[in-house]
Amino acid sequence: MNDFQTNLADDADLDGKIEDILDQADRMFLATSVDGVSSGASVFFARDGHDLLFFTFNPSRKAEQIRINPRVQAVIWPKSEDGIRGLQIEGGCHQVREPDEQRRARDKILEVTDAFRSYMDDPFLNRNRVVGYYRIRPTLTKYVDFHAEPQFRWREYPENQVGPAGSMMGSILSRLRLWVRAVRAPFFTATLVPVLLGTAIARSDLVQSGQAAMWSWQIFWFALLGAILAQAGTNLANDYGDHTSRNDEYNKVPSPFNGGSRVIQAGLLEPWKVLLAALVCFAATIGIGLYLNAVIGGGPFANTPLLWVGVAGCVLGAAYTLGPLRLSYRGLGEIAIAVGFGPVVVLGTHYVLSATTMTQWDWGRPLSASVPVAIFVMLIVWINQFQDAPADAKANKRTWVVRICEQPGSGFHYERAIAVYRALNWMGFASIAALGVLGLAGSSLGTPYAFVALLTLPLFLYASRLTGAWLERWRQPDADRQRLPYELLNVNALTIGIHLVTGLLLVTAYWV
């Protein structure tokens, strides 16, 4: 027999031994790792050729880590053996997304175990994308048999290998997605709206004073970057603070709108890195602020309104969940959000874009315009606290939703919190109408075009109707209160939409 035939025979023998172990086993120990944080889980598996299929919940730690780092290792031992003979399988793991492939994976797993059928077929879990099927494509299988010679043999799968360039790009993109998630970038609209509003008012003031040529795009971009970094730092600090209090660990109903980014809870970043990133963001914000202060006031620590507005913004952001103040734990978080993402950002942006051209800063106009923005951004936090309330109460985070809804011995009653939600929305729209009336009256504190921002009123009326229907379901004696919080997510999304669209319409009004 020549060498080629010998190799073929050896490969066939090894494949047979691997098949024999896989035929005898139905569970594997699955190891995942991200950023030096490792996890392990015992899961049932089914076979699809060389590939392995398994079921898990998409919010689980292993699934979260797989989305960032698809490289996994599975260890499989045949039943009734004591670790003498087994497999160590390395490969890439990915969620099965095609509906036909999902059904096929489900059927194969059910042939192995019926333990998860009720979850697999649960309409609520499927509708909310909690149910997940995953496929491991092996790149290397190590066969271990301590009673054989050799004791270790390897089977490679070149067809599943990813080249260095692909691995590098995949790693970079995964890392970017991780930090986008950690800073909660989709919520940067909370900063974008007040920055644009302050910008629109500053531009309008420059045009009216005949100094439009003094407009500076460079200062605008610095102001926007500084504000975004401040929000990123606040979000990261919030995650770290809620981790140290165990708040996010207590939260059983996290969603894209509440419960934090969960990068710590999912084992995606070590807590100290989240804290360090928060400090870096705040430091960069301070650096930008001092640079702008030097441009405007002649020195980085010149006694200007920007210096004090910047100090207020950084204190509110850092103290929201950190330090001795921990504003959100003392019932001051709602006010901090309203002030920080309303007057502080609007006034700061307006000042840096207009101060160099004016002998006296006219702060009344941007302050009055910031009132509805402050109310609507605070409402985002307010409605998000509905789902967070049980975990907040357990962590002694005394938000106003917890204070007015918690009924010792009988859970949470949301009637008053919904009444406040509606009242604050009406206050927000009333403040917009007041800006329009002031504009019609010729006051510089408003603009007649502000009425255009009332176009989002139907969105609020729809959200109000949804909260009423949700409250009726919550009151039912047989209500499933583990799942009902998820049914409020449409209102969470609508509240964000009201803030964003209303704010952009106000920006348009002042730009005109």
- Give the pLDDT of the chain (512 residues) as one tens digit per residue: 444 444 445 668 888 889 989 988 999 999 999 988 899 999 999 999 999 999 999 999 999 999 999 999 999 988 776 668 899 999 999 999 999 999 999 999 999 999 999 999 999 889 888 999 999 999 999 999 888 888 899 999 999 888 888 888 988 998 999 999 999 999 999 999 999 999 999 998 888 888 877 888 999 999 999 999 999 999 999 999 999 998 888 887 788 888 889 999 989 999 999 999 999 999 999 999 999 999 888 888 888 888 888 888 888 888 888 888 888 898 888 999 999 999 999 999 999 998 766 667 888 999 999 999 999 999 999 999 988 888 888 889 899 989 998 888 778 889 999 999 999 999 999 999 999 999 999 888 899 999 999 999 999 999 999 999 999 998 888 888 788 888 899 999 999 999 999 999 999 999 98
Cβ atoms of 62 and 32 within 8 Å: the answer is yes
In this structure, the answer to whether residues 126 and 229 fall within a common structural domain is no
**Pairing label, strands 37-44, 71-76:** unpaired
61, with CB counted inside 10 A (0-12, 13-18, 19+), is buried
In this structure, the answer to whether residues 258 and 369 fall within a common structural domain is yes
In a domain? residue 173: no
In this structure, the answer to whether residues 263 and 119 fall within a common structural domain is no
**Backbone phi and psi for residue 44, each to the nearest 5 degrees, phi listed first:** -70, 150
pLDDT for 289 equals: 92
pLDDT for 4 equals: 43
Q: What is the DSSP string of 60-89?
A: SHHHHHHHH--EEEEEE--TT--SSEEEEE
pLDDT for 47 equals: 94
In this structure, the answer to whether residues 426 and 500 fall within a common structural domain is yes
pLDDT for 82 equals: 65
Q: For residues 68 and 176, give the distance between their C-alpha atoms in angstroms, rounded to a whole number.
A: 10
Instruction: Say how many domains are in the chain.
Output: 2
pLDDT for 358 equals: 63
Q: What global pTM score does this model have?
A: 0.88
In a domain? residue 390: yes
Of 161, 192, 219, which one is at a domain's C-terminal end?
161
C-alpha closest to that of 170 among 246, 265, 275, 71: 71
In this structure, the answer to whether residues 89 and 205 fall within a common structural domain is no
In this structure, the answer to whether residues 157 and 54 fall within a common structural domain is yes
In this structure, the answer to whether residues 144 and 183 fall within a common structural domain is no
Of 126, 161, 196, which one is at a domain's C-terminal end?
161
pLDDT for 78 equals: 85
In this structure, the answer to whether residues 374 and 405 fall within a common structural domain is yes
Cβ atoms of 94 and 54 within 8 Å: the answer is no
Q: Helices 217-244 and 189-208 meet at what angle, rounded to 10?
A: 150
Q: Find the CATH number of the domain harbouring 69.
A: 2.30.110.10
In a domain? residue 450: yes
Of 161, 195, 222, which one is at a domain's C-terminal end?
161
For residue 501, how many other CB atoms are within 10 A of its CB?
Answer: 17
* Domain that residue 255 falls in: 178-511
Q: What is the DSSP string of 192-207?
A: HHHHHHHHHHHHHHHH
pLDDT for 83 equals: 63
Q: What is the DSSP string of 129-155?
A: T-EEEEEEEEEEEEEEETTSSSSEEEE
Cβ atoms of 170 and 66 within 8 Å: the answer is no
In a domain? residue 170: no
In a domain? residue 168: no
Residue 271: both structure tokens together: 């807590």
In this structure, the answer to whether residues 386 and 444 fall within a common structural domain is yes
Return the SS3 of 92: strand
Q: For residues 464 and 467, give the distance between their C-alpha atoms in angstroms, rounded to a whole number.
A: 5
Q: For residues 53 and 126, give the distance between their C-alpha atoms in angstroms, rounded to a whole number.
A: 18
Query: Which ranges of 319-344 does DSSP label H, i.e. alpha helix?
Result: 333-339
Question: What number of residues does the chain have?
Answer: 512
In this structure, the answer to whether residues 11 and 99 fall within a common structural domain is yes
**CA neighbours closer than 13 Å in the CB half-sphere of residue 161:** 10
**Pairing label, strands 46-48, 51-57:** antiparallel
pLDDT for 260 equals: 87
In a domain? residue 486: yes
pLDDT for 3 equals: 45
* For the chain, the helix, strand and coil percentages under 3-state DSSP, each to the nearest 5: 65, 15, 25
In this structure, the answer to whether residues 142 and 188 fall within a common structural domain is no
Cβ atoms of 184 and 496 within 8 Å: the answer is no
Over the Cα atoms of the chain, what is R_g? 28
C-alpha closest to that of 491 among 473, 508, 476: 473
In a domain? residue 302: yes
Residue 494: both structure tokens together: 């609508």
Q: Omega of the bond prior to 78 within 30 degrees of 0, cis?
A: no
In this structure, the answer to whether residues 286 and 431 fall within a common structural domain is yes
Beta bridge partners of 87: 76, 143
pLDDT for 110 equals: 96
In a domain? residue 279: yes
pLDDT for 2 equals: 47
